Amino acid sequence: MATHTPCFILSAEQILSRIDELSDVLEQCVNDGASVSFMLPFNRDKSRPFWT
pLDDT per residue as tens digits for the range 8-50: 899 999 999 999 999 999 999 999 999 888 888 999 899 999 9
Nearest CA among 28, 18, 29 for reference residue 51: 18
Q: Is the pLDDT of residue 1 over 90?
A: no
How many whole angstroms separate alpha carbon 11 and alpha carbon 39?
27
pTM over 0.85: no
